[in-house]
Amino acid sequence: MAIGPTSGRSLVTRRAVVDVVRTATLGSYGVTGFAGGPLARLVRLLGFGQPGLVVRLHPTVEIELDLTVALGVPVAEVARQVDSAVRYGVRRALDREVSRLTIHIDGLHVQAGDTLPASGTAPADTSPSRIRPRDLADSGTDVA
């Protein structure tokens, strides 16, 4: 007697989807991490969530990301890479499409020893720890 496939349901937790999205995002070119202030980091340490990452599963898959990117990389290209990686990861893991993916670039990450790009209107203080509002636009992209 041959046994055929049995129809049924799969249950995927929101935490599993968050892990898929986090892995795809952090593996993307130029992403240095998720944005979030001290309160968001405390929430993460307590195990209540991932700062900068919101996933809604009902009725459709909706994802919102708040990211920091490396200084000097094209921000628009980073956003395209993250979009592609997250959509592929969710499609492969859940066999569902992402209906809405919102990516916010909240800051630039400066490595120790790096210098900020020179600009005609740059203030005298160009230490790597000080990021000017114009630096995001000057980071190699046409999106500000």
Least confident of 7-16, 86-95, 109-118: 109-118
| Poorest-pLDDT segment among 4-13, 25-34, 92-101, 115-124 | 115-124
Does the pLDDT value for residue 4 go beyond 70? no
pTM for this predicted structure: 0.69
* CATH code at position 49: 3.30.70.1350
The reply to whether 25 falls in a domain is yes
pLDDT at 14 over 60: yes
In a domain, 136, yes or no: no
Q: Please report whether residue 96 resides in a domain.
A: yes
**Residue 70 in domain:** yes
Q: Domain count of the chain?
A: 1
What percentage of the chain has pLDDT greater than the value 70? Answer: 67
Q: Which residues, in sequence order, are CB contacts of 66 under 8 Å at separation 6+?
A: 34, 35, 36, 51, 52, 53, 104, 106
Q: Which helix (H) or strand (E) holds 127?
A: none
Q: Which domain holds residue 86?
A: 14-111
Domain annotation covers residue 87: yes
Q: Is residue 118 part of a domain?
A: no
- Residue 57's nearest CA partner among 13, 107, 7, 102 is 13
Round to whole Å and give the CA distance between 94 and 96: 5
In terms of Cα–Cα distance, which of 35, 30, 34, 135 is closest to 84? 30
132 part of a folded domain? no
Contact of 43 with 49, CB cutoff 8 Å: yes
Token output for 6: 């049995």
End-to-end alpha carbon distance in the chain: 64
User: Is the residue at 89 inside a domain?
Assistant: yes
